[in-house]
Structure 1
Amino acid sequence: MTMAAPTDLHFLQLHEISHLIRTRTLSSREVTEAMLARIDDLEPGLRAFATVMAESALVEADRADALAARGDWLGDLHGVPLAVKDLANTHDAPTGAGTTIHADFRPETDATVVARLRRAGAVILGKLRLTEGAFTGHHPDLPTPVNPWDTATWSGVSSSGSGVATAAGLCFGSLGSDTGGSIRLPSAANGVTGLKPTWGRVSRHGIFGLAPSLDHIGPMTRSARDAAIVLEAIAGHDRLDPTSSLEPTAEYSRALRLSSTPLVGFDRELAHAHFDEATNAMLETTIETLSDLGWRVVDVTAAGLAQAAEEWTALCGIETAGVHAETFPARAEEYGPDLSGLIEIGRGLSAVDYHRLLESRRAFTGRMRELMDDIDLLLLPGIGVGSPTIEQMGELGTDPKLFRAVTIPTAPIDSCGMPSITLPAGWTERGTPLAAQFVAGDFKEQLVLAAGHAFQQATDFHTRHPQDPRG
């Protein structure tokens, strides 16, 4: 597949465009106008945006330029155009959360993560499409974002618009959410870098939830360095979200050098039992790269991942039923089949069922913490089936093997709440992306970011981009 030149403005990494704005080589307005023009050109085919916020974006860009002219620099996001998943409240645009029921909802205030991005000087280009309610299926009455690498290839769920827009050069980074893999799956599918922080590391205030105890908010960018910059802006305790952690944050983008050589665990038996040939070949190549870096890779047993993945749907369904209690079943006919099916699962479970699931989740989390005491990182794929097609993923609900391959690398890591980073790590024969994932212990975002940065210094997968559909 032909790749676009990495020096194209729209494909620059976030930190590169930040440098150009800071040095006054380009103004924020010039960059923002260029991105809005690209959105106008490509959005009809890619369908990544639920709302383009052109007017307010230009106002924010002018404000950033005015501050810069006075010598007031807000940091690495100053004047940089980003976009956010359309489940994060924005006071100046609707927040529909991929639904038709809430399509016209206009919140009075920003979600904490949006407010923090704006305080850091970011320009918000718009709201990005997602699956209905952030579950697995797009609402049948709403568009599905198109993978820019190949129109027949799955664009991921649920942060599909975030993955597509970031990969296609429609923004320099985006926010996604992850409940069962919704940052990591579209990052893997679209060939971008996705960071799922520790649960509680980033505030969920003003976020339309899928399952609150499983929901994570994090960045989707073109590099680990860029993800670190965004995390710096959005991480930290928020008094409006009492579940947000009091654990101290760090200057993540200033600490991308590994302090020691990582010990990486890999469950070979799990991989061979559940992941496809292309995925396992990519993982073996990744291990070779890590060995060349001097990292030690050891065989481990990641006990309970398959069971945790199997139980995730029921856990998610119970919490989702609570989130939608005001509109389901009262307005059930306005729901798509995937989200309504999940809610029905949750409503059909008993308190005894829920107790059993919670006990199993606690036990699994304990086993994962024991495992991470012995290693620094756990290596998994971003998706356990290599770059699936849309047709292939149509069988997700009826093919147990496919369901396990997709969910085992992702859903359990939400259940235990640990941080992970998904990194472009290879290509299929048809030229579509494959991805690896590093998982670390609680609140070790600094480690996964530094590890991801080291991997990307040794590889060039993250620097390649899909061919411009305009030719």
Structure 2
Amino acid sequence: MADALHYLELTELAVRLKARELSALEVTRAQLDRIDAMDRELGSYVHVMAETAIAEAKAADAEIAHGLYRGPLHGVPIALKDLFWTKGIPTAAGSTIHRDFRPGEDATVVRRLKDAGAVTLGKVQLTEGAYSDHHPLVRPPKNPWNADYWPGISSSGSAVATAAGLCFGSLGSDTGGSIRWPSAANGLTGLKPSWGRVSRHGTFELATTLDHVGSICRSAADAGALLGAIAGQDPNDPTSLFEPVPDYLAAAAEDMRGLRIGVDAGWNSDDVDVATQRVLADAIEAFRALGAAFVDVRFPDVTQAVADWAPNCAIEAANAHEVTYPARKDEYGPILASVIEAGRTLTALDYQKILLRRLALRGRVAALFETIDLLLIPVHPFPPLTLAMIRTLGEQPDLIAKLQRYTCPFDMTGHPTITLPGGASEDGLPIGFQLVATHLDEAMLVRAGAAFQRATSWHRRHPSLTSRRQQ
């Protein structure tokens, strides 16, 4: 049963659970068995919640049997990035400082997933404090496609678990690219919503005005289903927005006819490798065949925004860690500690200049969407990165800037994006691309992503894995 089901899309599983062709209990047990067999090698989970998962699955089956169906997440096993508070469950945010922290309440997104009837399999690993590197005492997850390659950054545990069939979808967060890079690296669909669309209450902060909570899944429809459960205003987070949450699954059923997709040919090709350009060209042809119109655009220069992202993140991280840093400085890993140190030295004048430049960029991007519905861009300008190359990032500031060129600007502006698998490298590693929409139009992203995935099959490619039990 597990071999036939573990790569089902969340929405496909939901149909079978609702019809009672499958039980949430048997699916959950199969997932727990697969985690036990596979994850010793992959290292995606930091805490498996087997006992509560079984209880939640039994409750879901009982409710569904009595006609009390809560929606497309009811009985579906999912995973949580380990920076979302989970009542009574260790929540460490990739750190050693918080390894004994057991929250007294659920994060708003966790509570909403429970209200939707989802089954939580466990907490998945992340980089320290959701920044760029793991704590020296934390074992990083491995890319299931090839262990020699980067699995993405902070939300890599979420992506590895989803790609390896160890959950049917997961929650992640994105401050500079941490939903999009892991989604691209693992052949998944990642939806970074608009800033404020999803409550951050009960979520460990990295940088408040840059942090976005979103979903990592196998399809655009799945990502929309997860977002629909967690989005919406929250009185516990005064920065969450009051705008109504659309029906994302209804949007997933719509076609592309009449939609305008902007392409900046120069930005999409300047110092971008051939394989990535081919993925973009193939995506353009697919969308054109689906009825979309293409518009030549000139995207605002993001050089300053990319340069501003690091100090902006640093000063907000310093604020977020004020209680424990420098008081417990020796317990921090070197990368996060260096970022916090940099933030503590930034002046208020410098920070204000960054904020004003962010507002200006946001206005320019908003103006662009007066003429288009979507923008098509890479995730990063080079093929999948090896771990050996990632280890040199600290010595190559130009490479870091290239990595962030297409991701961090949209954390700076708060615009929503979706990452879609669109091709493969010569070595068979996934290559993704992004669509960007105007503020709060995640429904447009789900609509376009689902249409693309009805016409292509890249999202249905999965890594070949053999469990230790089968060896």
Once the two structures are TM-superposed, the CA of residue 260 in structure 1 deviates from its matched residue by 4.6
* One-letter code aligned to 1:148: P
- Alignment partners' CA distance in 2, 1:247 and 1:35: 36
Aligned residues: 467
1:85 aligns with 2:90: no
- Alignment partners' CA distance in 1, 2:466 and 2:407: 31
Once the two structures are TM-superposed, the CA of residue 327 in structure 1 deviates from its matched residue by 1.0
Matches within 5 A, 1:73-152: 73-152=69-148
Q: SS in structure 2 opposite 1:434?
A: strand
Higher deviation after alignment, 237-246 or 17-26: 17-26
For residues 369-417 of structure 1, what are the alpha-carbon distances to aligned partners after superposition, in whole Å with 9 as ceiling and x for unaligned? 1111111111111232211111111122222332122101100001100
1:412 aligns with 2:409: yes
1:47 aligns with 2:43: yes
For residue 452 of structure 1, the aligned residue among 424, 440, 449 is 449
For residue 328 of structure 2, the aligned residue among 319, 331, 344 is 331
- Alignment correspondent of 2:162: 166
- Alignment partners' CA distance in 1, 2:62 and 2:11: 20
- Alignment correspondent of 1:289: 286
Higher deviation after alignment, 233-242 or 299-308: 299-308
1:381 aligns with 2:378: yes
Q: SS in structure 2 opposite 1:18?
A: helix
Where does structure 1 differ by over 3 angstroms across 4 or more consecutive aligned residues? none
Matches within 5 A, 1:274-313: 274-313=271-310
Higher deviation after alignment, 150-159 or 402-411: 402-411
- Alignment partners' CA distance in 1, 2:466 and 2:270: 37
- Alignment partners' CA distance in 2, 1:338 and 1:134: 11
- Alignment partners' CA distance in 2, 1:384 and 1:329: 37
For residues 19-44 of structure 1, what are the alpha-carbon distances to aligned partners after superposition, in whole Å with 9 as ceiling and x for unaligned? 12111111111000000000000110
Q: SS in structure 1 opposite 2:431?
A: strand
For residue 392 of structure 2, the aligned residue among 377, 390, 395 is 395
- Alignment partners' CA distance in 2, 1:43 and 1:156: 17
Q: SS in structure 2 opposite 1:11?
A: coil
Task: Could you tell me which runs of 5 or more consecutive residues in structure 2 were left unpaired when the two chains were aligned.
Answer: none
For residues 52-84 of structure 1, what are the alpha-carbon distances to aligned partners after superposition, in whole Å with 9 as ceiling and x for unaligned? 000000010011111112221111111110011
CA distance 1:6–1:382, change in 2 (3 Å): farther
Q: SS in structure 1 opposite 2:434?
A: strand
- Alignment partners' CA distance in 2, 1:63 and 1:94: 23
- Alignment partners' CA distance in 1, 2:417 and 2:129: 23
CA distance 1:436–1:79, change in 2 (3 Å): same
* One-letter code aligned to 2:455: A
Q: SS in structure 2 opposite 1:102?
A: coil
- Alignment partners' CA distance in 1, 2:383 and 2:377: 13
- Alignment partners' CA distance in 1, 2:324 and 2:301: 35
CA distance 1:385–1:259, change in 2 (3 Å): closer
- Alignment correspondent of 1:247: 243
Once the two structures are TM-superposed, the CA of residue 325 in structure 1 deviates from its matched residue by 0.6
* One-letter code aligned to 1:277: V
Matches within 5 A, 1:341-352: 341-352=338-349
- Alignment partners' CA distance in 2, 1:230 and 1:248: 16
* One-letter code aligned to 2:260: L
For residues 225-269 of structure 1, what are the alpha-carbon distances to aligned partners after superposition, in whole Å with 9 as ceiling and x for unaligned? 111111111010001111000111111112220475221112221
Q: SS in structure 1 opposite 2:92?
A: coil
1:29 aligns with 2:50: no
- Alignment correspondent of 1:270: 267
- Alignment partners' CA distance in 1, 2:361 and 2:324: 33
Q: SS in structure 2 opposite 1:209?
A: coil
Is the Cα–Cα contact under 8 Å of residues 29 and 62 in structure 1 kept in the other structure? yes
- Alignment partners' CA distance in 2, 1:54 and 1:346: 40
- Alignment correspondent of 2:56: 60
Is the Cα–Cα contact under 8 Å of residues 2 and 31 in structure 2 kept in the other structure? no
- Alignment partners' CA distance in 1, 2:369 and 2:172: 25
Using the size of structure 2 for normalisation, the TM-score is 0.97
For residues 428-470 of structure 1, what are the alpha-carbon distances to aligned partners after superposition, in whole Å with 9 as ceiling and x for unaligned? 0111100010000001011011000111111100011000133
- Alignment partners' CA distance in 2, 1:11 and 1:57: 19
- Alignment partners' CA distance in 2, 1:458 and 1:338: 42
- Alignment partners' CA distance in 2, 1:449 and 1:385: 25
Percent identity between the two aligned chains: 50
Is the Cα–Cα contact under 8 Å of residues 256 and 448 in structure 2 kept in the other structure? no
Task: Could you tell me which runs of 5 or more consecutive residues in structure 1 were left unpaired when the two chains were aligned.
Answer: none
Once the two structures are TM-superposed, the CA of residue 15 in structure 1 deviates from its matched residue by 1.0
For residue 433 of structure 1, the aligned residue among 404, 427, 430 is 430
- Alignment partners' CA distance in 2, 1:260 and 1:294: 4
- Alignment partners' CA distance in 1, 2:165 and 2:225: 18
Higher deviation after alignment, 29-38 or 225-234: 225-234
RMSD (Å) for aligned C-alpha atoms: 1.4
- Alignment correspondent of 1:185: 181
For residue 10 of structure 2, the aligned residue among 10, 14, 22 is 14
CA distance 1:6–1:89, change in 2 (3 Å): closer
Once the two structures are TM-superposed, the CA of residue 339 in structure 1 deviates from its matched residue by 0.8
